């Protein structure tokens, strides 16, 4: 028998999948009835919903494997600082589209990790910050007490103190800016926590010096 948590999770998943499917079905019906012409704009809309479904299913698979303790990691020597710079560089176009200044400040940060999963952590955090920022996002990699710390700051509306833990819970959205049409599925930060935990790390949300939110991941040790 499913627990109350499992039942709620199934209900949440069904709700998230239903929305893009409903959009696609309505648009396909309209195209079939001749309400809309079959052109590149309509194909682009359907493609966007398909991409959303693909990402949602992939995210759900990652969380399911993590919950079951079956998330395989390919550990290798890497550098969190260099990887973070690469991710930020790759997201500059998205920052320009949102009229957000995206800055990065890193130091050499060697550790042993699954590079693909580490990249997913950084990407999810930066994408989340870009969705909420008004004009600025800052990404930092530092060392503190023999640990590596990744900070992602934005100058958005911030996260109320009582909600800072819940943002790492799947399907959590605190306001309208976390709606699906901005690209947020409500799973990104839950995945960050799951992947960080799998690496022996910790996640935290706090107030940012920029006035918005600071999301941080601390990894347990620095490898020489």
Q: What is the pTM of this model?
A: 0.80
Tell me the domains of the chain and their CATH numbers. 4-67 (1.10.287.130), 75-219 (3.30.565.10)
> What local confidence, expressed as pLDDT, does residue 182 receive?
44
Q: What is the C-alpha separation between 51 and 46, in angstroms, rounded? A: 9
Neighbouring CB atoms inside 10 A of 70's CB total 8
Cβ 137 vs Cβ 214: under 8 Å? no
* pLDDT tens digits, one per residue of 126-163: 999 999 999 999 999 999 888 999 999 999 999 999 98
> What local confidence, expressed as pLDDT, does residue 8 receive?
62
In DSSP notation, 128-176 reads: HHHHH-SSEEEEEEEEETTEEEEEEEE-SS---GGGTTGGGSTT---SG
Beta-bridge partner residues of 137? 102, 154
* pLDDT tens digits, one per residue of 31-87: 999 988 989 988 888 887 887 788 778 878 888 888 778 888 999 999 999 999 999
Burial class (CB in 10 A: 0-12, 13-18, 19+), 137: buried
């Amino acid at each position: 028998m499913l627990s109350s948590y499992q039942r709620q999770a199934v209900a949440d998943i069904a709700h998230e999948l239903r929305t893009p499917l409903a959009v696609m079905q309505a648009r396909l019906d309209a195209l079939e009835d001749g309400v809309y012409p079959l052109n590149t704009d309509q194909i682009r809309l359907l493609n966007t919903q398909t991409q959303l479904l693909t990402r949602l299913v992939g995210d759900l698979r990652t969380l399911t494997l993590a919950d079951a303790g079956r998330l395989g990691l390919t550990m290798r020597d890497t550098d969190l600082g260099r990887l973070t710079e690469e991710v930020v560089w790759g997201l500059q176009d998205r920052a320009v589209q949102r009229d957000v200044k995206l800055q990065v400040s890193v130091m050499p940060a060697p550790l042993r990790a699954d590079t693909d999963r580490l990249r997913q952590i950084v990407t999810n955090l930066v994408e989340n910050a870009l969705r909420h920022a008004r004009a600025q996002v800052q990404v930092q990699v530092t060392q503190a007490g023999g640990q590596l710390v990744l900070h992602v700051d934005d100058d958005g509306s911030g996260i109320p103190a009582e909600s800072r833990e819940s943002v790492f819970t799947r399907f959590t959205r605190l306001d309208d800016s976390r709606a699906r049409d901005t690209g947020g599925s409500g799973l990104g930060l839950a995945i960050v926590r799951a992947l960080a935990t799998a690496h022996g790390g910790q996640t935290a949300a706090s107030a940012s010096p920029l006035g918005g939110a600071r999301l941080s991941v601390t990894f347990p040790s620095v490898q020489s």
